Amino acid sequence: MNTSNAAADTEIIKEGSQATFTSDVIEASRQVPVLVDFWAPWCGPCKQLGPIIEKVVSEKQGAVKLVKINVDENQAIAGQMRIQSIPAVYAFVDGQPVDGFMGALPEGEIRSFIDKISSGKSPDDIAADQKLAEAATAFEEKDYSVAAQIYAGLVKENHDNIAAITGLAHCQLELGDIEAAKTTMSLIPPSKQDEDAVRQVLAAIELAANPVDEEELAKLEEKLAANPDDHQARYDLAISLNNKNERQQALDHLLHIVRTDREWNDDAARKLLLTFFESWGGSDEMTINGRRRLSTALFS
């Protein structure tokens, strides 16, 4: 074995070129992920990015490698990678480019990017994570049809992708198709039924199955105004209000029942609150606040 080549192969950070790209990047990435930093001496942002990315890669102690390519000296490879602006960083895993970014990102974002790449996931898993992120962004922007298409594609590729299944069901609920959401959730195996994301969607489906009847809601409000101690009216009103996304009012009504008559109807108000919390999601501010207020009501 050529000892100089063996030493070179163990380098975590190195200068690359057109001639060494196959060995330094393609072949090396079959062992550990390799980041390729396309830069130039005249590029100001490159000078900002370089030290940061080298620092983070060094901290990984060989879990990921970095190859720096001077685009002025290696225009052919820059052209093949369709580099249009620099700095540009591409991540290679198993010989394939799987992710990348352009510009001098803050250290925190660079660290998150490298953490993801060095996680040991396959290119397919990394690509799936990217699609999940795209779908989540579309969902947050209320573009439910686009999000649903992305999630559906992921489910088609992998029926065990719980995040994609629950994401698709969420979209279907937002689009008003409860039956489709139920069908989607039927793909969840019994062993995964207790996961938080799964329980959240199942709770949301249960609540969505009770559509809001505005006339009935008005009657419930009238009954409650006439008799504030009518817990059944208050309970039913909370369900309707939650389905209208009037979550604060629904929460207040159920907490009122818990405080005044906790044992009413076999602890129904507290149980419904827990169902609400699951449907809203554990990290939702309303859930966090609601759990705190419920605890106060129960133990004060």
Residue pLDDT, tens place only, 178-206: 999 999 999 998 888 878 788 888 888 88
Average pLDDT over residues 91-120: 86
Which residues, listed in sequence order, are joined to residue 36 by a DSSP beta bridge?
67, 90
CA distances from 255 to 93, 124, 227, 265, 278 (A): 52, 46, 17, 14, 16
- Cα–Cα distance measured from residue 151 to residue 161, given in angstroms and rounded to the nearest whole number: 10
The DSSP result for 29-47, as a single string, is GGTS-EEEEEE-TT-HHHH
**Helix-strand-coil split of the chain, %, nearest 5:** 60, 10, 30
Query: Does the 125-208 domain belong in CATH 1.25.40.10?
Result: yes
Which secondary-structure segment (H or E) carries 170? helix 162-174
Cβ neighbours of 44 (radius 10 Å): 9
245-265 residue pLDDT tens: 899 999 999 999 999 998 999
- The residue type found at 296 is T
Architecture (CATH level 2) of domain 214-299: Alpha Horseshoe (1.25)
| 272 neighbors 297 (Cβ within 8 angstroms) | no
Cβ neighbours of 227 (radius 10 Å): 11
List, by residue number, the catalytic residues.
43, 46
Query: Which CATH number does the domain 3-120 belong to among 3.40.30.10, 3.40.50.1980, 3.40.50.2000, 3.20.20.70?
Result: 3.40.30.10
In terms of phi and psi (left: phi > 0; alpha: psi -120 to 50; beta: otherwise), the region of 213 is: beta
- Cα–Cα distance measured from residue 110 to residue 104, given in angstroms and rounded to the nearest whole number: 9
Please state whether beta strands 65-70 and 13-15 pair in parallel, antiparallel, or not at all (unpaired): parallel
Q: Measured on CA atoms in the order 236, 240, 245, 246, is the torsion positive or negative?
A: negative
178: its two tokens:
């409860």
Q: Is the confidence at residue 2, as pLDDT, over 50?
A: no
Q: Is the confidence at residue 103, as pLDDT, over 50?
A: yes
- Cα–Cα distance measured from residue 192 to residue 182, given in angstroms and rounded to the nearest whole number: 15
Q: Is the confidence at residue 9, as pLDDT, over 70?
A: no
Average pLDDT over residues 169-177: 92
> How much is the pLDDT for 122?
64
> How much is the pLDDT for 121?
65
Region(s) of the chain under CATH 1.25.40.10: 125-208, 214-299
Beta strands in the chain (DSSP E): 13-15, 34-39, 65-70, 88-93, 96-102
* Helices within 20-105 (DSSP H only): 21, 44-59, 75-80
Q: Is the confidence at residue 282, as pLDDT, over 50?
A: yes
Angle at the Cα of 228 from the Cα atoms of 224 and 231, rounded to 5 degrees: 80
What is the 8-class DSSP label of residue 218? H
Burial tier of 150 (Cβ tally within 10 Å: 0-12, 13-18, 19+): buried
- Cα–Cα distance measured from residue 268 to residue 181, given in angstroms and rounded to the nearest whole number: 26
Which residues, listed in sequence order, are joined to residue 92 by a DSSP beta bridge?
34, 97
Task: Please provide the average confidence, as pLDDT, over all residues in the chain.
Answer: 88
pTM, entire model: 0.52
- Cα–Cα distance measured from residue 230 to residue 79, given in angstroms and rounded to the nearest whole number: 74
Region(s) of the chain under CATH 3.40.30.10: 3-120
Q: Measured on CA atoms in the order 155, 157, 163, 167, is the torsion positive or negative?
A: negative
